[in-house]
Amino acid sequence: MKILVCIKQVPDMESKFKVDESGTWYAKTDLAWRMNEYDEYAVEQAVQLKEQCKEGDITVLCIGSDQVKETMKKSLAMGCDRGAHIKDDEASGKEPFEIAGVIAEFAKDKDFELIFTGMQSQDRGSGQVGILVGEMLGIPSVSTVVEFSYEGGTLDLKRELEGGIKACVKVSSPAVITCQLGLNTPRYPTLPNIMKAKKKELLSIDIGDLLRVEPRQETMKMYFPEKKGGGLVLEGEAADLADQLIKILKEKTGVLA
Amino acid sequence: MKLLLIAESREGKLLGGSYELMAFAQELGAETAMFLVGSEADLPKYDGTLYLADVADAGEYNPEAHRALILDVIDKEKPDSVVFCHSSYGWDLAPRLAYTLKAAQISEVVGVADGNMVVPVCNSKLRREVKAGTAQTVITLQNGAFGLAEDPAGTPTVEKISGGTGTVIEFSGFELAEAGGVDLAKAQVIVSAGRGIGKPENVALIEGLAKALGGEYGASRPVVDSDWVEHNRQVGTTGQTVTPKLYVACGISGAIQHLAGMKKSEFIVAVNTDKDAPIGEVADVLVVADLKQFVPVLTEKIQAL
Ligand SMILES: Cc1cc2nc3c(=O)[nH]c(=O)nc-3n(C[C@H](O)[C@H](O)[C@H](O)COP(=O)(O)OP(=O)(O)OC[C@H]3O[C@@H](n4cnc5c(N)ncnc54)[C@H](O)[C@@H]3O)c2cc1C
Ligand SMILES: Nc1ncnc2c1ncn2[C@@H]1O[C@H](COP(=O)(O)O)[C@@H](O)[C@H]1O
């Protein structure tokens, strides 16, 4: 069984962000980078499926600059078999229709039985790429999956809805699955597997070879939201902060009365 | 400008997000028509044409069938934009429709500025203004970003529609969230643990503060997904919605899905090491501190009162 997993490298969301010179994206300097959280579940599900079927071949794909190879190596250490790095220094400016177009172009003749993506990326957060890939390839897609089971080409899935309700869904492969938080427990790569990953194949493909679609939207500017104000910010030493907070709670809430 | 608003229902019950679509249209001063797969027994309060497909025929989750029905309505109404809620229904269906229409899709819109759509970036730490390059667009609206100024009123002119089949995805029913356990909705004080607690042992710190304040403890999603706290204590869109007198968010960044479950609390305190964490947007008081040091000191001082 051939499986494709699409991952994105994103900054740690606790980073201090700055807007870059173009004024349309965040500056990429002084940031810590990691795998998009949703994509960790995608990688884990692919690896678990291979373990269950006792056969399989997992390609992990990532579009980005050379820097994303670090994150790709983590997924190889988690158990993916090979990497397809689509080299693009301008990836952050690509909108979801372009990203999906590139993934679909890569996947179109390769007979992947399953394609896993995250339900959304943490930085851009469009939640579109997985479903668009399914549309472009003409195969079904199911989004926001929190439970997954596979048996002989049939997928039993649960989609998560608001309020913790789930929708039970059945679909046949080939299909695209977009993974939601909590789908599984992503493994930590072990040291031997990190060593093994170093020897795994990491293909490099130029973005120009796969980009066949035109963008449909454009970012005009990026900025920090205006602070709505009102909120009080307290900084200092713990005991002092606690005294200040207790005083406020006594004045403003009936809780400590 | 004309908008086609895609309302939502579940098991025949209209969902509240449908009114946020109307609020968005009002803000743009746009003409509208509405589409709903739902039930005649629960119609939106809306003055306009409502294209209604019966959920018994069209299915609760059948994106293929729903897309086909919406495409028929688009043929009749020729809207400039089709507007969905950014919900499990909307984010699933919108890209499929955008693909067929060859339209740009702009996700999770929180506002409109100079005719461009404003969307959040990086857990709402930043904003982005987006301009579509296609004449027709598909838009999803962030939960809670638009609200009607007045209570909705009106009676729709219902046009029943049918057809639209889909066989690829088979929906077999809902699984309800497990019932029982704590009812956070009744608590006057809730202290919640976020990923910032670092390890499961630290849930005790949060529980301790909750006890000292005479309340319950809750949690954000990653803490629940890691099995550190049970699901019936999760606050947010896929957990419970709470409105206590006091909500204390410890080590919670303030993602929109968490805020949706607690931002209507009367008084909100956040404890976070990151001064720029988005939780600061809704907090009455943001204590910039390491919760592992601050929470035990605070608990002790409250106990001593
Ligand atoms: C469809 C959907 C539904 C969702 N439903 C929910 C939901 O119902 N509820 C929910 O909560 N989430 C939900 N989420 C997930 C949500 O998007 C966020 O991922 C989640 O809320 C983040 O949880 P967090 O704030 O605890 O963790 P993080 O975002 O990782 O934040 C941790 C915070 O802790 C701070 N911190 C770190 N160390 C310390 C320390 N020592 N002391 C103090 N502060 C510290 C950091 O600065 C950071 O702000 C949903 C997501 C999706 C896509
Ligand atoms: N640059 C990228 N390279 C590979 N996959 C990506 C990239 N950007 C997005 N994806 C995939 O698409 C999913 C949804 O992203 P988005 O539509 O941007 O929210 C992510 O979780 C990834 O699986």
Percent of chain B at pLDDT exceeding 70: 100
Q: Does B228 touch chain A (CB under 8 A)?
A: no
What pLDDT score was predicted for residue A112?
Answer: 98
Residues 204-243 of A with CB under 8 A from B: 215-225, 227-228, 230-235, 238-239, 241-243
Q: Does A181 touch chain B (CB under 8 A)?
A: yes
Q: How confident is the model over A6-21, as pLDDT tens digits?
A: 999 999 999 999 999 9
Q: With CB atoms and an 8 Å threshold, state whether B280 touches A217.
A: no
Task: Decide if pLDDT at B37 tops 90.
Answer: yes
Q: Which residue has a Cα nearest atom 27 of ligand 1?
A: B195
Q: Which of B161, B173, B148, B174 is nearest to B46 (CA)?
A: B148
B263 confidence band (pLDDT: 50, 70, 90) = very high
Task: Decide if pLDDT at B167 tops 70.
Answer: yes
What pLDDT score was predicted for residue B182?
Answer: 84
What pLDDT score was predicted for residue B282?
Answer: 93
In A, which residues are within 8 Å of B297 by CB distance?
A: 238-239, 241-242
Task: Decide if pLDDT at A54 tops 70.
Answer: yes
Quote the CA–CA distance of A163 and B40 in Å, as a whole number: 24
Task: Decide if pLDDT at A256 tops 90.
Answer: no
Q: With CB atoms and an 8 Å threshold, state whether B267 touches A163.
A: no
What pLDDT score was predicted for residue A227?
Answer: 75
> Looking at domain B184-303, which CATH architecture does it have?
3-Layer(aba) Sandwich (3.40)
Quote the CA–CA distance of A128 and A57 in Å, as a whole number: 25
Q: How confident is the model over B59-81, as pLDDT tens digits?
A: 999 999 999 999 999 999 999 99
Judge if the beta carbon of residue B195 lies within 6 A of ligand 1. yes
Q: Choose the residue to mutate in B184, B191, B220 for probing ligand 1, maximizing ligand atoms within 8 Å of C-beta.
A: B220
DSSP string, A151-208: ETTEEEEEEE-GGG-EEEEEEESSEEEEEPTTSS-PPPPPHHHHHHHTTS-EEEEEGG
Q: How confident is the model over A79-137, as pLDDT tens digits?
A: 999 999 999 999 999 999 999 999 999 999 999 999 999 999 999 999 999 999 999 99
Angle, helices A238-252 vs B291-303, to 10°: value is 50
What pLDDT score was predicted for residue B165?
Answer: 80
What pLDDT score was predicted for residue B210?
Answer: 98
Which superfamily does CATH assign the domain made up of B2-161 to? HUPs (3.40.50.620)
Q: With CB atoms and an 8 Å threshold, state whether B123 touches A122.
A: yes
Which atom in ligand 2 lies closest to the alpha carbon of residue A125? 19
CATH topology of domain A2-209: Rossmann fold (3.40.50)
Task: Decide if pLDDT at B202 tops 90.
Answer: yes
* Average pLDDT rounded to a whole number, residues B159-180: 88
* Average pLDDT rounded to a whole number, residues B6-20: 95
Among A173-177, A251-255, B98-102, name the one with the lowest average pLDDT. Answer: A251-255
Beta-carbon contacts of A138 under 8 Å, excluding residues fewer than 6 positions away, are none
**Residue B39 CB-density burial (10 A; 0-12 exposed, 13-18 middle, 19+ buried):** middle
Q: How confident is the model over A129-171, as pLDDT tens digits?
A: 999 999 999 999 999 999 999 999 999 999 999 988 999 999 9
A132 → chain B, closest CA residue:
B95
In B63-148, where do the E strands start and end? 81-85, 104-109, 111-113, 116-121, 126-132, 137-141
What pLDDT score was predicted for residue B177?
Answer: 81
What pLDDT score was predicted for residue B174?
Answer: 96
Q: What is the rounded average pLDDT for all residues in chain A?
A: 96
In chain A, where do the E strands start and end? 2-6, 9-11, 33-35, 57-64, 82-87, 114-118, 141-151, 154-160, 166-172, 175-179, 202-206, 217-223, 232-235
Q: Does A135 touch chain B (CB under 8 A)?
A: yes
- pTM as predicted: 0.96
What pLDDT score was predicted for residue A229?
Answer: 65
Which residue ranges make up each domain of chain A? 2-209
B181 confidence band (pLDDT: 50, 70, 90) = confident
Answer yes or no: are the C-beta atoms of B36 and B112 closer than 8 Å: no
What pLDDT score was predicted for residue B8?
Answer: 97
What stretch(es) of chain B map to CATH 3.40.50.620?
2-161
Q: Choose the residue to mutate in A98, A117, A142, A207 for probing ligand 2, maximizing ligand atoms within 8 Å of C-beta.
A: A117
B180 confidence band (pLDDT: 50, 70, 90) = confident
Q: With CB atoms and an 8 Å threshold, state whether A144 touches B91.
A: yes
Q: Report the sign of the C-alpha dihedral through residues B7, B9, B13, B16, in that order.
A: negative
In B, which residues are within 8 Å of A246 by CB distance?
A: 298, 301-302, 305
In B, which residues are within 8 Å of A181 by CB distance?
A: 221-222, 225
What stretch(es) of chain B map to CATH 3.40.50.1220?
184-303
